Amino acid sequence: MAWRSMGTNNEDLIRQLKEHGVIASDAVANAMIATDRKHYSPRNPYMDAPQPIGGGVTISAPHMHAFALEYLRDHLKPGAHVLDVGSGSGYLTACFYRYILTKGTHAETRIVGIEHQADLVRMSKANLNADDRTMLSTGNLEIVEGDGRKGFPSRAPYNAIHVGAAAPDTPTELINQLAKGGRLIVPVGPDGGTQYMQQYDKDSNGKVQMTQLMGVMYVPLTDLRS
């Protein structure tokens, strides 16, 4: 990909992504600059490529996180409920939090990262606290352990849902938890086969429209047994 790059530090990485047109808005750039990847990616944090974080899991390349923020940014507002499925090391969950915080504070804001590996849940909480302890202490951001394929009903409906691994087919349960006016972005397709990033928008009447965004390559969305 033409925008693959390596930053000398976090700010330099984000600058390059912005120069290449991957990041289109200052608000997304600022949220990513404020969230230093060194807290979330123990290896090569400023390389624009997936990196291992443990448990057979990778943190996605920075350009994919930038795309996610850009596609969801109009739905990231104070008071919104946001679900990050397969939240891994907690990086994108933190970016969602910081993006919304720049727009204002609201007691009802909920950013939920859900991860099925207990070790990653513990690690992501430690990462978030190393970055800024107030993110978790406010209660507006939480990391939970669970099967993200089933969503997280207790905080539904969600104004924005991001999925960080590939669903084999249409993620009906997540669509059901999408608020009217909400948006879901998720890679869809078989492991090792053709996958596309798909966008699902639910209108004010509850009708859902799917838009195919781009070809991608993601690990499959699984549970601990698969």
Q: What is the pLDDT along the chain (226 residues), one digit of tens a residue?
A: 445 678 999 999 999 999 999 999 999 999 999 999 999 999 999 999 999 998 888 999 999 999 999 999 999 999 999 999 999 999 999 999 999 999 999 999 999 999 999 999 999 999 999 999 999 999 999 999 999 999 999 999 999 999 999 999 999 999 999 999 999 999 999 988 899 999 999 999 999 999 999 999 888 887 655 4
Q: What is the pLDDT of residue 226?
A: 46
- Count of alpha carbons within 13 angstroms of residue 182, beta-carbon side: 21
Beta-carbon contacts of residue 30 (< 8 Å; ≥ 6 apart): 98, 102
Rounded CA separation 114/87 (Å): 6
Rounded CA separation 11/9 (Å): 6
Q: What is the largest CA-CA distance in the chain?
A: 48
Continuous segment of H or E residues that includes residue 178 = strand 178-188
Q: Which residues are catalytic?
A: 60
Strand ranges in 74-140 using DSSP code E only, listed in sequence order: 81-85, 110-115
Q: What is the pLDDT of residue 2?
A: 45
Place of tokens 């996610």: 68
The pTM (predicted TM-score) of the whole model is 0.95
- Token pair of 110, please? 């909920």
Q: What is the pLDDT of residue 1?
A: 43
Q: What is the pLDDT of residue 12?
A: 96
